[in-house]
Amino acid sequence: MSLTIPSSTEEYGFVVEGLGAHSGRTIMLADLQLLLAACPSSAHLEDYKNAVLNTNVLLKRTEAARKESFQRLKRLYGLENDILLFKLLRALWEQSLEAQPILSLLYAIARDPILRVTVDFLIDLPLGTIVTAPNFAEIVGQEFPTEINEKTLASIGRNIASTYTQSGHLKGRSNKERISVENHTTSITYALLLGYLCGERGESLFYTPWSRLLDSPVHKLHIKAQLASQQGWLEYRHAGQMTDISFNHLLQGANNE
């Protein structure tokens, strides 16, 4: 199943078209972790801006570096609770430190069309396969043949390779090896939620690219989903060939805050 984003999902915070943040940066996982650790989940955009520019929670050496980092984070993550995807990311974020790299990747894919076009390629890479930045640059160039020049494509390839290294899907330096990531209840919750918001229902939620990025067999995803249900993150019902997944509690909580 290829990753397609309906235009109707823009109301939730998905970005359907355009050139995304990976034209200039990676998912900036370390910066995001520092910023979200410094600000409560109720924070607004101005709070995040103040934390970066005035408090310097990202530990940047210059004012210019602080400003650029904030703009890059804002472009990719939005940093607004009016964005449903971001609000739900924050609801899950502090539940598991180990899940944060996957959560940030899933969110970034929802927001960055450039990164999104490489997802199928990454998923289909057998474990142990060696991949390089030019491999990603080539894929992006094929999808955006007139919008991006060769110099920028080379930078994008490096950024995407770094992003997948930060998420745990790759390891190594120039030549990167495809490795398996560890699945957590919060990451399966967010993966299923993204598929749900894109219109998938039932058993098909476990076969979307969002779920396949978790590198787990479907039966193990079911086990994690059941655990997530017990923790109150989603509603899970499975009997025979029938599967029902919903997010009434999580979505109602987000809408009521």
Q: State the pLDDT at residue 241.
A: 82
- Residue 118 makes CB contacts below 8 A (sequence gap 6+) with 136, 139, 140, 160
In angstroms, the first-to-last Cα distance of the chain is 34
The type of residue at 250 is: L
Task: Give the C-alpha distances (Å, rounded to integers) separating 115 from 3, 20, 46, 237.
Answer: 11, 7, 27, 33
CB contact at 8 A, 29 and 166: yes
pLDDT digits (tens, 9 = 90+) for 196-235: 999 999 999 999 999 999 999 999 999 999 999 999 999 9
Residue 196 pLDDT: 96
Question: Looking at this protein, which amino acid is placed at residue 189?
Answer: T
Backbone angles phi, psi at 152, to 5 degrees: -70, -35
Structure tokens at 126: 């057998």
Q: Extract the runs of DSSP E, i.e. beta strands, from 85-198.
A: 130-131, 170-172, 176-178
Greatest alpha-carbon span in the chain: 59
* pLDDT of amino acid 239: 86
Q: Which amino acid belongs to residue 111?
A: R
- The pLDDT value recorded for residue 255 is 67
Q: Which residue has the higher pLDDT, 256 or 6?
A: 6
Best CA proximity match to 43, nearest among 22, 63, 57, 30: 57
What does the block give as tokens for 92? 């899950």
Domains of the chain in sequence order: 1-181 (1.10.3540), 185-256 (1.10.10)
C-alpha 69: how far from its chain's center?
18
Q: How far apart are CA 153 and CA 5, in angstroms?
A: 23
Token pair for residue 63? 């004012």
Q: Is the pLDDT of residue 138 over 90?
A: yes
Mean pLDDT of 11-15: 95
Given a contact cutoff of 8 angstroms between Cβ atoms, the answer to whether 110 and 201 are in contact is no
| Among 54, 18, 58, 16, CA closest to 36 | 58
**Beta strand residue intervals within 152-213, DSSP E:** 170-172, 176-178
Give the per-residue pLDDT at 256. Answer: 62
Q: What is the spatial distance between Cα 235 and Cα 246, in angstroms, rounded to a whole number?
A: 5
Confidence of residue 18 (pLDDT cuts 50, 70, 90): confident
Question: CA 138 to CA 129: how far, in whole Å?
Answer: 17
Whether residue 55 is predicted with pLDDT greater than 60 in this model: the reply is yes
pLDDT of residue 60: 96
Note the pLDDT tens digit of each residue in 180-191: 999 999 999 999
